Amino acid sequence: MKNIIIASTSTLYNGKPLEYLLNEIEHLFKDVSEILFIPYARPGGISHDDYTNKISDAFSKINKTIKGIHTFKNPKQAIQEAKGIYVGGGNTFVLVNNLYKNDCINILKEIVTSGTPYLGTSAGSNICGLSMGTTNDMPIVYPPSFKTLSFVPFNINPHYLDPIEGSKHMGETRETRIQEFHKFNTQPVIGLREGSYIKVSGESIQLKGEHQARVFEYDTEPYEIETNTYLNELK
């Protein structure tokens, strides 16, 4: 029975890391005292140790301890024996490359599908979809595959941004990028705005948080869904 939180971001503007999610996280990890943290995405290129220490401060507020996967000799075994897992944000290409390099993709999918509670934010959320093809990140490394964990039957675009009226920026919007994705792929994409998250409980998949999400389906006009909407029917 899957027990997963897929959050657009770890930190809201003017907030502290995971602050807005602490109540939900405390419930997610209610039976867990130590959480395995996977810092492979390395936001800003910081070290695994620095990233783990930063996250530890947030989890200490709910009396949870954090141990980084990089401190284990055998990452696969660390995942297999973990009672709870958190995969943080950063660069999705770097994250996925490291998961494949350490042969962790299949075991991570297996144990979370079997019920080990999982929290993902940003890049750690991106990998919960069918592929990492809707990441916002630069391809600074080249993973062996873009296929990811498939915890949900669609792709995710974390940090989804709406076009800004009156902006003079000439680059593509997120909506345009996702429409480009759909010229070559058919799976739905959820544009997940900051402050919102997807909660997976068993076979239930539900949008939560303070914002609507934007849904992109192949060969269909994008549309908005309200918080608390169930997403199980997206295919």
Active site residues: 122, 137, 159
Q: Which of 76, 113, 86 is nearest to 6 (CA)?
A: 86
Strand arrangement, sheet containing 196-201:
65-68, 34-38, 85-87, 118-121, 3-7, 196-201, 204-209
